[in-house]
Amino acid sequence: MKKIAWQAGTYVCRAYAKINTYLEVLGQREDGYHELCSHMQLITLCDTLETRIKLMPIAGEKTNTDDGPTITLQSDHPTLSCGEDNLILRAARLFFETVGLKNDHKIEIEFYLHKKIPMQGGLAGGSADAAAVLLSLNKLCGEPFALNDLCSMGVLLGADVPFCIRGRHGAQTATGIGEVMTPAAGISPNVTLLVALPGTAVSTPAAFRWLDERYCAEPIAARKREHQARYRRHLAALDTQDFRCLEQTSWNRFEEAVFSLQPQTKRVFDAVRMLGADMTRMSGSGPTIIGYFFDEERASTAQRLLQQDGIVSYLCHPLEKADE
Ligand code: C5P
């Protein structure tokens, strides 16, 4: 175990949401998790995590500080649980299981989360926050861990956490359960994204179950072949930013599950398309719908019209690389 002498300090880290222009489910493993192939990219919609480290003198005799720091979380979100189940606190605890403390001071770690990413939307909001914790703590203690080490810690917290770390350097193809990554071309940051919230909720395990039941009798080999041909064309379209081909090859297997379980999601998908999006896809296991627009003004008009229908949405852009 690495032992670190901590300094007092503060670090502010943006935690970016992700979208998928492609997501195929390729069968279930013995541990219940599913093999996937997905194209993932971060977007400018983000939470902001502030991490503050305080060193408190220990009164009286020197004691062993190996029992770990005191960790607290506050947030501006009205319904987010800041208890021990929160991924931010779980990520911090995991980090401190991997590093020991070399201080003769008591350490207090305070997190403050400014929450902007819609929760349980298929945008990896929780995973983005967990990734920000691992990156921030690593920065604050002199970067003892390489990105690969942080990704190995991250996957223990959620399948999307490694991407939320690695994706800060650019879009990726994610395979395995989402943790095996290969750099890929992304969508241009000039494209405007309309991130529309249908106001529905479907749990990720429920969406996987729906697909398992629907496809249990079908051979996986045929789906794999079809996927390989489609995804090859999708990557080529991303390379050349051929939007027509991108639109044709873009894919999300979860759409049929979520549209069936929550028909309102399909209505919002159709509305975004009708409002002139150049491409429309659900993100991840949903239900958030992403409209991809070449024309920013058309995206703004679409947002206004959705608003009149009571549908909340955000405008943002694909992220090429994060600054920090
Ligand atoms: O790991 P994460 O919290 O993102 O996943 C939530 C749930 O989704 C898991 O508990 C699992 O049931 C399901 N899942 C899966 N296969 C994946 C990713 C997630 O079955 N590749």
Q: Each residue of 220-256: pLDDT tens digit?
A: 899 999 999 999 999 999 999 999 999 999 999 999 9
Q: Among the atoms of ligand 1, which is closest to the Cα of residue 25? A: 21
Q: Residue 102: pLDDT above 80?
A: no
Provide residues with CB under 6 Å of ligand 1. Answer: 33-34, 36, 158-160, 177-178, 204-205, 208
pLDDT classification of 3: cutoffs 50, 70, 90: confident
Pocket test for ligand 1, best of 179, 208, 211, 212 (most atoms within 8 A of CB): 208
For ligand 1, atom 9, name the residue with the nearest CA: 205
pLDDT classification of 216: cutoffs 50, 70, 90: confident
Mean pLDDT of the chain: 94
Q: Residue 209: pLDDT above 70?
A: yes
Catalytic residue positions, numbered: 18, 160
- Taking only the tens place, the pLDDT of each residue in 104-162 is 788 999 999 999 999 999 999 999 999 999 999 999 999 999 999 999 999 999 999 99
Portion of the chain with pLDDT greater than 70, in percent: 97
Rounded to whole angstroms, the Cα distance separating 131 from 136 reads 9
Pocket test for ligand 1, best of 20, 34, 36, 175 (most atoms within 8 A of CB): 34
Q: Among the atoms of ligand 1, which is closest to the Cα of residue 160? A: 4
Q: Among the atoms of ligand 1, which is closest to the Cα of residue 177? A: 21
Task: Taking residues 35-60, report their average pLDDT.
Answer: 93
